[in-house]
């Protein structure tokens, strides 16, 4: 038998054959190089990072990530793992990735002290934040973050917030007026009110007036395009299996976030809507020639845009700050206020005691009185923030990612350089040795489970899961372990370090002012009785929802206090 050789029938086909073979070889070379680099990085990471114990992989592809995303109570999962494996442990993640979980106050303090320089946001986090709000203070890192934060800081000083306290009360009294009218028209003097929507309106109008000298008018019934988009996140049905898979894979391949789906489209719409509003407000403020020295947020942003000094911001950065403030001002305070009304409805004794303190005090407290003269109000507010932090999980990479996930805001971080993290108590490594510090290699991924730490039995004691404002009123109310947590009032709700929440005092003042008006004037009960179940609805941030309700429904039975 004679061998035969196939000969291309034309020069062009020969060229195409050679070209395709060449392209294939180049692709194979790049793939081999990529695989080689990955192997070297993994080997380096394993050699330079203390290998800790942790839960076994439940999925070959997803590790335990799918379990966490699917869980209704991921905080309990983290706490259980900390009890079993120690205050620092490793969890298997997507496609062979590993995340280091820190549940130790000393380790977390070390971590936060170096955040934004040693521990930074991952590429996925940066991509998702930029898609939602642009390259503002939430997105920036290192020197850029320091510059942007410094430019904004005067707007959140005590002096600045003191002037804004009347705005908080104005919003609260608008709600009181509407609810009074509804109750007057009811037959039995009470009405079922969907309180979460009203808390959303309070938050939006307050940040509009206090931050940008603009009244969105949502408390007056005006339509605001931004609220429609915000609410769409909460109205969205359960996340599809495909979207969940794409989200999980995005941690390994950030390019997956470019694949169009309903969530991506909604995020783009929200970004565009907030951008249009921010641009309109900025143009109007420039036209009205606001005084540069004004300590309002919009005034400081215009000043930063126009100056040549070290704090100068570009127009894109200015617009990004405005979008961040709209988002944060709308989401976080409204969620906390809603949780407060839920917990007070569940605990009528606490509600009565708080009302008595407020009525005994008399007139609406000033900013300084809100901070110092109403201890039980302060206790209730901080107990809400302890049990129900708006951001439930915080992650970072040793300088390689904040992640606006499909279902919750999650800050994804990694290490930029090698580091050694001290521990307050020793842990057992994967090899069985005990160690009181862990070595970290560049590129390591981190998780700090805020909600789990805020509710930890090991840190907060046997009553950690209970709503117990009294713990904030006595010296021994906060246990020794909890006192080691270095966040605001020993909580991680506002995180800590260089990236601690810039609007913390603003949020606390608004929370207290609004809650004081609502509790003094109305009595709250769960519509379906004290045993009503509340679940978590997935919006931009996790929100409470009464089981069986659509969207983010929290219907409470409300009557006037007389």
Q: How many whole angstroms separate alpha carbon 212 and alpha carbon 299?
A: 8
Q: How many whole angstroms separate alpha carbon 399 and alpha carbon 321?
A: 23
Structure tokens at 532: 């009503």
pLDDT for the residue numbered 464: 94
Q: How many whole angstroms separate alpha carbon 382 and alpha carbon 393?
A: 18
Q: pLDDT for 16-64, tens place per residue?
A: 555 566 676 777 777 787 666 667 777 777 888 999 999 999 999 889 9
DSSP letter for 172, please. Answer: H
pLDDT for the residue numbered 237: 54
CB 495 within 8 A of CB 502: no
pLDDT for the residue numbered 145: 85
pLDDT for the residue numbered 310: 65
Q: How many whole angstroms separate alpha carbon 200 and alpha carbon 232?
A: 13
Q: State whether residue 218 is helix, strand or coil.
A: helix
Helix axes 375-387, 504-521, angle to 10 degrees: 110
Q: pLDDT for 464-474, tens place per residue?
A: 999 999 999 98
Task: Give which of 294, 345, 251 is closest to 546, Cα–Cα.
Answer: 345
Feature table: binding site: 501
Structure tokens at 147: 């510059």
Task: Give which of 85, 121, 6, 180 is closest to 398, Cα–Cα.
Answer: 121
Task: Give which of 230, 211, 208 is closest to 219, Cα–Cα.
Answer: 208
pTM: 0.87
Structure tokens at 198: 């009203």
pLDDT for the residue numbered 538: 76
pLDDT for the residue numbered 28: 78
Q: Where does 48-126 show beta strands of DSSP type E?
A: 88-92, 98-102, 119-121
pLDDT for the residue numbered 254: 75
Could you give phi then psi for residue 120, rounded to 5 degrees?
-130, 175
Q: How many whole angstroms separate alpha carbon 393 and alpha carbon 79?
A: 13
Residue pointed to by tokens 């020993």 = 490
Residues present in the chain in total: 562
Q: How many whole angstroms separate alpha carbon 144 and alpha carbon 352?
A: 48
Q: How many whole angstroms separate alpha carbon 409 and alpha carbon 402?
A: 8
pLDDT for the residue numbered 292: 43
How many angstroms separate the Cα of 238 from the Cα of each of 255, 270, 536, 546? 24, 19, 12, 16
CB 353 within 8 A of CB 343: no
pLDDT for the residue numbered 561: 93
Structure tokens at 182: 């509804």
What does the radius of gyration of the chain's CA atoms come to, in whole angstroms? 26
Feature table: binding site for heme: 501
DSSP output for 527-562: TT-TT--EEEEESSSEEEEETT-STT--EEEEEE--
Cβ neighbours around 220 below 10 Å, total: 11
CA angle 190, 191, 193 (to 5 degrees): 140
What residues of the chain score a pLDDT lower than 70? 1-22, 24, 34-38, 116, 233-240, 287-296, 304-311, 394-416
């Amino acid at each position: 038998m004679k061998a035969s050789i196939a000969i291309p029938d034309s020069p062009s086909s020969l060229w195409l054959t050679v070209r395709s073979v060449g392209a294939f070889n180049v692709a194979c070379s790049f793939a081999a190089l990529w695989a080689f680099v990955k192997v070297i990085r993994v080997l380096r990471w394993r050699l330079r990072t203390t290998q800790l114990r942790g839960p076994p992989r439940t999925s070959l592809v997803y590790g335990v990530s799918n379990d966490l995303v699917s869980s209704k109570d991921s905080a309990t999962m983290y706490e259980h793992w900390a009890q079993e494996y120690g205050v620092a442990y490793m969890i298997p993640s997507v496609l062979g990735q590993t995340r280091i979980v820190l549940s130790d106050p000393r380790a977390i303090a070390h971590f936060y002290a170096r955040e934004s320089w040693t521990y930074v946001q991952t590429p996925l986090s940066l991509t998702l934040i930029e898609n939602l709000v642009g390259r503002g203070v939430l997105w920036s890192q290192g020197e850029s973050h320091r510059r942007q934060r410094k430019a904004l800081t005067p707007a959140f000083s005590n002096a600045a917030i003191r002037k804004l306290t009347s705005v908080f009360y104005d919003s609260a009294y608008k709600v009181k007026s509407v609810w009074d009218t509804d109750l007057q028209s009811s037959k039995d003097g009470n009405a079922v009110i969907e309180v979460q929507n009203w808390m959303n309106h309070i938050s939006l109008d307050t940040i509009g007036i206090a931050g940008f000298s603009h009244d969105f008018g949502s408390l007056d019934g005006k339509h605001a395009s931004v609220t429609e988009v915000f609410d769409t996140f909460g109205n969205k049905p359960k996340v599809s299996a495909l979207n969940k898979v794409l989200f999980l894979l995005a941690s390994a391949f950030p390019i997956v976030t470019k694949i169009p789906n309903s969530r991506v489209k909604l995020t783009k719409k929200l970004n565009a809507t907030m951008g249009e509003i921010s641009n309109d407000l900025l143009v109007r403020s420039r036209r009205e020639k606001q005084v540069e020295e004004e300590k309002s947020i919009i005034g400081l942003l215009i000043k930063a845009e126009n100056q040549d000094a070290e704090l100068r911001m570009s127009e894109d950065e200015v617009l990004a700050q405005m979008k961040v403030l709209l988002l944060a001002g709308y989401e976080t305070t409204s969620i906390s206020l809603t949780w407060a009304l839920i917990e007070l409805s569940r605990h009528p004794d606490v509600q009565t005691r708080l009302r008595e303190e407020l009525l005994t005090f008399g007139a609406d407290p000033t900013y300084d009185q809100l901070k110092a003269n109403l201890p039980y109000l302060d206790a209730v507010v901080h107990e809400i923030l302890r049990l129900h932090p708006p951001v439930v999980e915080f992650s970072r990479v040793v300088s390689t990612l904040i992640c606006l996930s499909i279902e919750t805001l999650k800050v994804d971080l990694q290490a930029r350089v090698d580091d050694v993290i001290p521990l307050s108590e020793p842990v057992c490594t994967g090899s069985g040795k005990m160690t009181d510090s862990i070595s970290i290699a560049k590129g390591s991924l981190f998780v700090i489970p805020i909600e789990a730490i805020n509710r930890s039995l090991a840190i907060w004691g046997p009553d950690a899961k209970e709503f117990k404002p009294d713990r904030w009123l006595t010296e021994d109310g906060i246990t020794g372990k909890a006192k080691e947590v270095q966040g605001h009032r020993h909580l991680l709700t506002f995180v800590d370090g260089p990236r601690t929440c810039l609007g913390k005092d603003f949020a606390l003042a608004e929370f207290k002012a609004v809650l004081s008006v609502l509790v003094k004037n109305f009595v709250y009960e769960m519509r379906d009785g004290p045993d009503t179940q509340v679940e978590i609805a997935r919006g931009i941030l996790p929100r409470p929802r009464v089981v069986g309700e659509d969207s983010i429904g929290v219907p409470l039975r409300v009557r006037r206090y007389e």
